[in-house]
């Protein structure tokens, strides 16, 4: 499944989730008072309990969104929906804990959890859908407003915090190598070889590289086939790619040799 647009991983959308979700819950329950929540919380203290529950939701969403923001993995739509469900369940446990401690009802704790999840799910699902669609539409209009050659031809490199760090034409890239918690991007600029160290992982760049014609030639290397001069094998039988640019020879694993040689 395709990766989710990068805007879903930026800081401002996480801040919007933290603020909008509890406000939406508070406003929805205060105005609509559906699912029997008024009788459940009590008519006399309804406003107080609803306010405290909304604050608990805010704190729980803040925790889960901070974790989500720093999560060092690619997120697709399925994983994003799964994360939202985990977020609701996590919040339900803490809302239920408050209600269980303060409400004068002879109910086991996990019955409060079930009721809390019901209240949260049938209100927050609307907020999640509205925010997701809004972000998707915003992202679409942002890309549509950019020149065609920028959106379709340039590669955008983001770091682990999803901040845009480098934009390059695919044809200018020579190779990309992995080194501990960084990837090193070697590219040509004004006929000079330059390199940029990006705090990211090769796995995070897999889809971007494949979509733009770069080929994996080794566990730690992606290579631009157009920049390969020749494939060679040294006296020890180790295969490597000699590049057009003045850079190191790139090792080629047996696993990837056939695919790369067919492209040359």
CATH number of domain containing 210 = 2.40.50.1020
- Per the structure, the count of domains in the chain is 2
The predicted structure's pLDDT at residue 15 = 94
Counts for the chain of helices (H) and strands (E), in that order: 8, 10
* CA dist., res. 133 & res. 106, Å (int): 41
The predicted structure's pLDDT at residue 3 = 63
Whether 90 and 15 map to the same domain: the answer is yes
Last residue of a domain, one of 96, 115, 145: 145
| Tokens 């992202």 belong to residue | 139
Last residue of a domain, one of 145, 173, 188: 145
Whether 36 and 110 map to the same domain: the answer is yes
Q: Report CA-CA distances (Å) from 136 to 10, 17, 84.
A: 13, 14, 16
Whether 13 and 141 map to the same domain: the answer is yes
Whether 90 and 110 map to the same domain: the answer is yes
Q: Which helix (H) or strand (E) holds 99?
A: helix 77-102
Last residue of a domain, one of 106, 123, 145: 145
* CA dist., res. 15 & res. 66, Å (int): 9
The predicted structure's pLDDT at residue 34 = 67
The predicted structure's pLDDT at residue 245 = 83
Whether 140 and 211 map to the same domain: the answer is no
Helix (H, G, I), strand (E, B) or coil at 5: coil
Whether 136 and 191 map to the same domain: the answer is no
pTM: 0.60
Long-range Cβ pairs for the range 246-251 (8 Å, 24+): 246/193, 247/174, 247/175, 247/186, 247/193, 250/175, 250/217, 250/218, 250/221, 250/223, 251/217, 251/218, 251/221
Identify the domain containing residue 42 by its residue range.
Answer: 6-145
The predicted structure's pLDDT at residue 151 = 43
Torsion of CA 212, 218, 224, 225, to 10 degrees: -110
DSSP 76-94: BHHHHHHHHHHHHHHHHHH
Residue 1, in any domain of the structure: no
The predicted structure's pLDDT at residue 149 = 46
DSSP 218-240: ETTEEE-GGGEEEEEE-TTS-EE
Name the stretches of the chain with pLDDT < 50.
148-151
Whether 141 and 31 map to the same domain: the answer is yes
pLDDT tens column, 162-203: 888 999 999 999 999 998 889 999 999 888 899 999 999 888
Residue-averaged pLDDT of the chain? 86
Residue 113, in any domain of the structure: yes
């Amino acid at each position: 499944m395709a990766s989710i647009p990068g805007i879903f991983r930026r800081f401002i959308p996480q801040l919007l989730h933290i603020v909008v979700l509890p406000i939406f819950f508070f406003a929805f329950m205060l105005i609509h008072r559906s699912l029997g929540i008024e009788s459940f919380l009590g008519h006399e203290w309804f406003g107080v309990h609803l306010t405290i529950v909304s604050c608990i939701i805010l704190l729980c969403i803040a925790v889960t969104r901070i974790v989500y923001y720093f999560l060092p993995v690619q997120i697709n739509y399925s994983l994003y929906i799964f994360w939202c469900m985990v977020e609701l369940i996590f919040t339900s446990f803490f809302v239920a804990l408050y209600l269980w401690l303060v409400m004068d009802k002879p109910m086991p704790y996990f019955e409060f959890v079930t009721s809390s999840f019901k209240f949260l799910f049938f209100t927050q699902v609307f907020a999640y859908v509205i925010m997701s669609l809004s972000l998707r539409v915003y992202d679409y209009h942002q890309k549509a407003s950019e020149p065609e050659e920028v959106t379709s031809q340039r590669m955008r490199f983001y770091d682990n915090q999803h901040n845009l760090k480098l934009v390059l034409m695919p044809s200018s890239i020579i190779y990309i190598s992995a080194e501990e918690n960084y990837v090193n991007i070697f590219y040509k600029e004004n006929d000079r070889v330059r390199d940029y160290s990006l705090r990211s992982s090769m796995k995070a760049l897999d889809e971007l590289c494949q979509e733009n014609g770069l080929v994996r030639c080794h566990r730690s290397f992606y290579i631009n086939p157009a920049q390969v001069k020749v494939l060679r094998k040294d006296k020890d039988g180790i295969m490597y790619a000699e590049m057009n640019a003045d850079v190191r020879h790139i090792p080629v694993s047996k696993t990837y040799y056939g695919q790369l040689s067919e492209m040359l």
